[in-house]
Amino acid sequence: MLVVLLVHAALLAWLFVRAREGSLFELETGAFASVAAGALAIAGWLLWRWPHRTRVIAVLGGVITIAMLFTFGSLATVSLMLLNAYVVGRLVSRPLGASASNEPPSVTALVGIALWTGFMAAMISFKVHYPAVYVVMLLLPLVAVPHVTAEAVVRISRSLARNDTFSARERAWIAVVVALGIIHALLAARPEVGFDAGTMHLQFAQILRHENRWPFDTSRYAWAVMPLGADLQFAAAFLLDGEHAVRLLNLAFAALVGDLAYRLIRLYARREIALACVALLASTPLAFLETGTLFVENLWTAFLLASFYATLRFARIRGAADAAAAALCAAGAMQCKVIGVAWVIPVLAGLAIVMFQRRDSMFTRPLAIWAVIAAFIAVWPYANAWLRTGNPLFPYFNALFRSPLFDVASSFNNALYNTPLRPWSPYAAVLDSAHHVEGSDGAAGLQWLLFYPLVLFGALRRPPPAFWYALALAVVFFAAVYSQQSYLRYLLPFFVLVTVLAGWTIETLSHTRAAGMTLLAAGTVVCALNVSVIHTASWINTTLCLPCTHDDGARDRFIARYAPLRTVSDYLNRELPDARIGFLILNGASPSGYLGSSHSANWHDWSTYHALVNAAVAEDVAAVVRRHGLTHVVVATAQSDSTSDAIRAYVAQRTSPVWRFDNFVVAAVRGE
């Protein structure tokens, strides 16, 4: 085993060198090192000075950091949303006999989020989505059941006041987690500049606030009827306090993932190991990618982990509340991504087997009611898509369902991530991550080259049944997802499971002080290496943009550098709100916040994209402009893949420039 670990450590070192040499962008090493070292030193000193106040110091450090980086409104919004979710979750678990002291708060909150997500999805087409309505809906449960609200506040207070004794190594790991958390918070506090956010996740929230409903316009947005679970939560935060609240909420979802990973590891491992594994998970470039811009994987992964954790708890204590939580969290995951079915089916199958072994808990009326509600929440987005388009998975698998609203010749698929599934694919995802995400080698993180052999070693040491269950779930999920899209972000739940399995295996090794110090030394080195290649998963993460937290000018410059189309769309919203805009930028991140009528040359607007890609002459582009009645166009001026000869000819012959910014021109369409 030692030889295997040494070989994998050598591979880790080789991958680190490749990651450092292969990146096209220079990392602001000084800023990252200063923040990490400073946070680590302060947290370490405080934890060493007051060891019996470890919980208070860690939590207050996080709260103070967030209060300094985000607005008061965003902090209040996210706190209210999480408290509301917890109270709603308790309204589910209390009648089923769960006690607050024994119930994981993260699972309870996710149950509440799942219920709210299902309710919002059912109501999204009605013109009722106003900030005042959301404030009332968030406050209503808190006021209607004040004893449950008070119970939540008391529980938080008692948890912070508890004087647990943490060992020196545990406090060192907590200091590392706090330092990593501060880097995550700094990345989340920057302006949103991600491609997916500009075309979908933040765009959805902006449109919902502008129109107060969602029209399911698949002719404009191919993703209009896709599962929008995380986007619905982002939209709720955006309605209340804008972009700051949305990015802070995404950070909170990442914290839920970390908490659930910690709780899963603690089922079979001591606290020191759980803290170490969570720190290693949080240090990966992939994790920083998820908090550095708006994606849905944080909430999706949290739902999946919660369903698995609740199932394991049900197998242990046979509580009806855990069965309901597993079903509702699985439903929440299906509201976020359809590929979650590769996780949900094995988890619910395991839950059903345990329930069948104890038949008296299987057919209780309250549990049956929540099972029906969970099924409704899970099925709703797909039934809605089927009724509106004829394809429950629209626009995916359209060659099978043949909806006339999208291409029927072939199913939509990102050809960049179609690597064939092989026995060594888990290694390929790590060693060759440049071909599995929009980044470079090292993006997945480095510790997997140590965790993989640990997991295999753990399988040889007569592990508990939960180990085999988790290992089977990891294998099934990886195979199902990788064979469809070999994409790192979609594999995030798999990597969390590998972390859990590795943690359980480490527990079976030596418990000596030397082993603990070795884990601390090796783990902190890997964390530092991961942070040093943070930009391999996203070139945007080359900078922390420390002035962005308080300087509007710095925020504007950051947006202009990394997402100039946001600046263009701000101009269009201000000067041309009633125009009909054509973003003639092939595969551009449009509309990037424009709220008027628009069409874009990316796959989200399939007919426009297809027509512009195949345009041979200026007249072909003019036909697209006439079909949509466009009054203005936005084009890129540089010679690149984002434009074509036909688009450039059309712009030169039939438009008049109105405004220029960076590499883009807004032009008015001249009359025929």
List Cα–Cα distances, 485 to 36, 289, 350, in angstroms.
34, 18, 26
Query: Do residues 518 and 573 both lie within one domain?
Result: no
Give the β-pairing of 655-661 and 632-636: unpaired
Residue 148 covered by a domain: yes
Q: Which two tokens stand for residue 62?
A: 């996080």
From 508, 542, 576, give the residue that closes a domain. Answer: 542
Q: Pick the range with the lowest mean pLDDT from 110-114, 399-403, 447-451.
A: 399-403
Per-residue pLDDT for 212 more than 70?
yes
Band the pLDDT of 22: cuts 50, 70, 90: low
Query: Do residues 528 and 613 both lie within one domain?
Result: no
Per-residue pLDDT for 226 more than 90?
yes
Band the pLDDT of 18: cuts 50, 70, 90: confident
Give the pLDDT confidence score for residue 107 in this predicted structure: 95
Q: Could you tell me which residue, 630 or 11, shows the higher pLDDT?
A: 630
From 542, 572, 602, give the residue that closes a domain. Answer: 542
Query: Do residues 214 and 328 both lie within one domain?
Result: yes
Q: Could you tell me which residue, 8 or 322, shows the higher pLDDT?
A: 322
Q: Is 225 exposed, middle or buried (0-12, 13-18, 19+ CB in 10 A)?
A: buried
* Angle, CA of 148, 151 and 157, to the nearest 5°: 150
Residue 433 covered by a domain: yes
Per-residue pLDDT for 192 more than 90?
yes
Give the pLDDT confidence score for residue 230 in this predicted structure: 97
Query: Do residues 592 and 468 both lie within one domain?
Result: no
Query: Do residues 574 and 521 both lie within one domain?
Result: no
For residue 283, what are the contacts with CB-CB under 8 A and spacing of at least 6?
180, 445, 526, 527, 530, 531
Residue 547 covered by a domain: no
| Secondary structure element (H or E) that encloses residue 60, with its range | helix 54-69
Q: Which of 532, 441, 439 is nearest to 183 (CA)?
A: 532
How high is the mean pLDDT of the chain? 91
Q: Is 155 exposed, middle or buried (0-12, 13-18, 19+ CB in 10 A)?
A: middle
Question: Is-contact 11 431, C-beta < 8 A?
Answer: yes
pLDDT digits (tens, 9 = 90+) for 161-177: 676 788 899 999 999 99
* Angle, CA of 394, 382 and 353, to the nearest 5°: 130
Query: Do residues 488 and 577 both lie within one domain?
Result: no
453 prior amide bond cis, ω within 30:
no
Give the pLDDT confidence score for residue 355 in this predicted structure: 84
Give the pLDDT confidence score for residue 41 in this predicted structure: 87
Question: Is-contact 264 502, C-beta < 8 A?
Answer: no
Query: Do residues 268 and 313 both lie within one domain?
Result: yes
Report the alpha-carbon distance of residue 384 to residue 334 in Å, rounded: 13
For the chain, what is the largest distance between any 2 Cα atoms, rounded to a whole number of angstroms?
A: 82
| Secondary structure element (H or E) that encloses residue 564, with its range | helix 564-575
Give the pLDDT confidence score for residue 31 in this predicted structure: 77
Residue 558 covered by a domain: no
| Secondary structure element (H or E) that encloses residue 664, with its range | strand 664-669
| Residue at 533: amino acid letter | V
pLDDT digits (tens, 9 = 90+) for 383-412: 999 999 999 999 999 888 989 988 887 777
Q: Which of 502, 507, 500 is nearest to 260 (CA)?
A: 500
Report the alpha-carbon distance of residue 512 to residue 239 in Å, rounded: 53
Residue 479 covered by a domain: yes
User: To the nearest whole percent, how much of the chain has pLDDT over 70?
Assistant: 97
Q: Could you tell me which residue, 320 or 581, shows the higher pLDDT?
A: 581
Alpha helix locations (H) across 197-319?
202-211, 229-266, 271-282, 285-292, 297-317
Q: Which of 566, 614, 606, 610 is nearest to 589 (CA)?
A: 566
Query: Do residues 492 and 621 both lie within one domain?
Result: no
Question: Is-contact 201 231, C-beta < 8 A?
Answer: yes
Looking at the DSSP bridge assignments, the partners of residue 580 are 597
Query: Do residues 252 and 332 both lie within one domain?
Result: yes
Q: Which residues in 317-332 are b (16+ Cβ under 10 Å) and which e? A: eebbbbbbbbbbbbbb
Ranked by mean pLDDT, the top range of 53-67, 141-155, 381-395 is 381-395
DSSP helix/strand/coil, 104: coil
Per-residue pLDDT for 413 more than 70?
yes
Rounded to an integer, the average pLDDT of 83-104 is 85
**DSSP per residue over 346-405, as a string?**
HHHHHHHHHHHHSGGGTS-HHHHHHHHHHHHHHHHHHHHHHHHHS-TTTTTTHHHH--TT
Q: How many C-beta neighbours within 10 Å does residue 584 have?
A: 31
Report the alpha-carbon distance of residue 308 to residue 345 in Å, rounded: 11
Report the alpha-carbon distance of residue 489 to residue 444 in Å, rounded: 9
Query: Do residues 256 and 109 both lie within one domain?
Result: yes
Query: Do residues 516 and 659 both lie within one domain?
Result: no
Question: Is-contact 285 537, C-beta < 8 A?
Answer: yes
Give the pLDDT confidence score for residue 100 in this predicted structure: 63
DSSP helix/strand/coil, 651: helix
Band the pLDDT of 1: cuts 50, 70, 90: low
Residue 393 covered by a domain: yes
Report the alpha-carbon distance of residue 264 to residue 503 in Å, rounded: 9
Question: Is-contact 114 377, C-beta < 8 A?
Answer: yes
pLDDT digits (tens, 9 = 90+) for 529-569: 999 999 999 889 988 888 888 888 999 999 999 999 999 99
Residue 555 covered by a domain: no
Q: Is 423 exposed, middle or buried (0-12, 13-18, 19+ CB in 10 A)?
A: exposed
pLDDT digits (tens, 9 = 90+) for 558-592: 999 999 999 999 999 999 999 999 999 999 999 99
Report the alpha-carbon distance of residue 214 to residue 205 in Å, rounded: 10
Give the pLDDT confidence score for residue 363 in this predicted structure: 63
Task: Write out the residue range of the structural domain in which residue 622 sits.
Answer: 564-669
pLDDT digits (tens, 9 = 90+) for 273-282: 999 999 999 9
Give the pLDDT confidence score for residue 360 in this predicted structure: 56
DSSP helix/strand/coil, 101: helix
pLDDT digits (tens, 9 = 90+) for 350-375: 998 888 877 655 567 888 899 999 99
Task: Measure CA of the first residue to CA of the last residue in the chain; give whole Å.
Answer: 76
Residue 556 covered by a domain: no
What's the number of domains the chain is made of? 2
Q: How many C-beta neighbours within 10 Å does residue 115 have?
A: 22
Query: Do residues 576 and 496 both lie within one domain?
Result: no
Report the alpha-carbon distance of residue 55 to residue 39 in Å, rounded: 16
Give the pLDDT confidence score for residue 170 in this predicted structure: 92
Q: Which of 398, 417, 424 is nearest to 409 (CA)?
A: 398
Question: Is-contact 84 111, C-beta < 8 A?
Answer: no
